Amino acid sequence: MDQVTQAAINSDRQWRWLMELAEFGAIPDNGVNRQALTALDRAARRQLIEWASEIGATVSIDEAANLWLRVEGSDPTAAPVLTGSHMDSQPKGGRFDGAYGVIAGLEAITAMHQAGIVTKRPIEVVAWTNEEGSRFAPGCTGSMSWCGFKPVHEWDDVKDADGIFYGAALATQLGFESDIPRRPLGGPVHAYVEAHIEQGPLLESEGLDIGVVTGIQGSRWFTVTIEGESAHAGTAPLSLRRDAMLDAVRAIQALSDAMADPDDVLRFTVGRIAVSPNSSNSVADRVTFSIDLRHPNADILTARGALIPSVIQSAMTVCDARLVENFTAMPTDFHPLVIAAVEHAAKATGHSIKHMASGAFHDAQFASRVAPAGMIFVPSHKGISHNPAEYTSPAQLAAGTQVLMHTLLRLANS
Ligand SMILES: [Zn+2]
């Protein structure tokens, strides 16, 4: 028997692990609220380490608190194959976003271990730190640090809603996990493959098993601050006001017009706004709002993003505007080596596939800067994600993990 037929994914065990992991930060209606670098995050990581210890995996963390589980290969000098995803969630998240990719990696190496398979290359499962960016923006700080795109301390001064700094939260996490051996960031890597729920409706609506992800559209996040002057709503004449709210509204409308796309491919979102002093009878002296801009074409993303400062500037009547770009992930094309390995694995295991690009960003976008990378999508019921109602069936998850395992076998024996 070859290695493909020897090892079998245990769907029940994988589902049980996922459901047990979802207990860490469980919220009503099957939701999960497990923010990065919290006590809940650490408890979930300890649970993962316990499961991994059953197959003798070596555990380590790096300076960005990414957590690594490693099984050795037969060639001690060979660069490893990486898989994994993230374990943090949105505040009202579901049980599968991120968690699935980590558990799928653990299930794949466990099934291989139980079948007595030793690949040529080592296989490592990673749980990246702070992918979601919901507690500390931006997301993907763990993978950005690991690949050298940004230094680990780039976001030290970013505060969460309680005023806790990212740098302090990271130091706390590393302190609590000081018993876990440290490893350096980066390193030679043969390939990276990440399993994830689709977070969109395409696979389900077309009745397909597996998304072979060909790339990820680019994302740019900005913060706009409009500065005016506070005044009494009853006494200050309109002609003398510097109303930050009104100029912010003009700016958002002008941006929305400038970002219109007849092909409906560009994604432009203003999803967060903060008003100071946020009082019904005061003129606003400061309004801050976010911009999330995405497109699969790098030139278009660059060109549209370049319009933003002048569009905002020309919308100002009496206020001053400041613009900061907080996050940039240019569009990513995944590597033919990994795409072919996923295709081959899906074919070998009898699963239907769809080639697709990802609308959401993922850690794979940053891993791809240092290693051939790719992703495997499984269907998301009704495309629902970042929501407690997120759902993928045990059988669909097992199919994805089967494809992941065979992809890992192929890459780790090459
Ligand atoms: Zn995710």
Whether 200 shows a pLDDT value over 50: the answer reads yes
How does pLDDT run across 295-345, given as a tens digit for each residue? Answer: 999 999 999 999 999 999 999 999 999 999 999 989 999 999 999 999 999
Whether residues 278 and 135 share a domain: the answer is: no
Whether residues 31 and 163 share a domain: the answer is: yes
Q: How far is CA 302 from CA 128, 222, 270, 343, in A?
A: 27, 13, 18, 32
Q: How far is CA 10 from CA 13, 44, 125, 182, in A?
A: 5, 21, 18, 31
> What whole-number distance in Å separates Cα of residue 269 and Cα of residue 216?
18
Of the candidates 203, 140, 139, 129, which has an alpha carbon nearest to the alpha carbon of residue 170?
Answer: 129
How does pLDDT run across 219-236, given as a tens digit for each residue? Answer: 999 999 999 999 999 999
Whether residues 293 and 392 share a domain: the answer is: no
End-of-domain residue from the set 303, 329, 355: 329
DSSP letters spanning 223-263: EEEEE---EETTTS-GGG---HHHHHHHHHHHHHHHT--TT
| Whether the Cβ atoms of residue 281 and residue 235 lie closer than 8 Å to each other | no
CA atoms within 13 A on the CB side of 247: 28
Q: How many angstroms separate the alpha carbon of residue 199 from the centre of ligand 1?
A: 9
Q: What is the pLDDT of residue 1?
A: 41
Q: How many angstroms separate the alpha carbon of residue 86 from the centre of ligand 1?
A: 6
CATH number at residue 121: 3.40.630.10
Residue in the block written with tokens 């295991």? 349
How does pLDDT run across 94-107, given as a tens digit for each residue? Answer: 999 999 999 999 99
How does pLDDT run across 265-309, given as a tens digit for each residue? Answer: 999 999 999 999 999 999 999 999 999 999 999 999 999 999 999
Q: How many angstroms separate the alpha carbon of residue 101 from the centre of ligand 1?
A: 8
DSSP β-bridge partners for residue 85: 127
Whether residues 294 and 389 share a domain: the answer is: no
Whether residues 311 and 244 share a domain: the answer is: yes
Whether residues 204 and 222 share a domain: the answer is: no
Q: How many angstroms separate the alpha carbon of residue 132 from the centre of ligand 1?
A: 7
Of the candidates 292, 368, 293, 366, which has an alpha carbon nearest to the alpha carbon of residue 141?
Answer: 366
Q: How many angstroms separate the alpha carbon of residue 196 from the centre of ligand 1?
A: 7
End-of-domain residue from the set 292, 307, 329: 329
> What whole-number distance in Å separates Cα of residue 98 and Cα of residue 117?
26
Q: How many angstroms separate the alpha carbon of residue 22 from the centre of ligand 1?
A: 14
Q: How many angstroms separate the alpha carbon of residue 75 from the centre of ligand 1?
A: 32
Judge residue 299's burial from the number of C-beta atoms within 10 Å of its C-beta, 0-12 exposed, 13-18 middle, 19 or more buried: exposed
Whether residues 301 and 287 share a domain: the answer is: yes
Whether residues 185 and 282 share a domain: the answer is: no
Q: What is the pLDDT of residue 7?
A: 83
Whether residues 49 and 128 share a domain: the answer is: yes
Q: How many angstroms separate the alpha carbon of residue 391 from the centre of ligand 1?
A: 14
End-of-domain residue from the set 283, 314, 329: 329
Whether residues 50 and 139 share a domain: the answer is: yes
Q: What DSSP designation does 113 have? A: H
Q: How many angstroms separate the alpha carbon of residue 311 from the centre of ligand 1?
A: 32
Whether residues 267 and 389 share a domain: the answer is: no
Q: How many angstroms separate the alpha carbon of residue 94 from the centre of ligand 1?
A: 10
Residues around ion ligand 1, judged by CB within 5 A, are 97-98
**Angle of helix 336-348 relative to helix 394-412, nearest 10 degrees?**
120
Whether residues 8 and 107 share a domain: the answer is: yes
Range of the domain at 223: 218-329
Total count of domains within the chain: 2
Render the burial of 348-377: b for 16+ CB within 10 Å, e for the rest: bbebebbebebebbbbbbbbbebbbbbbbb
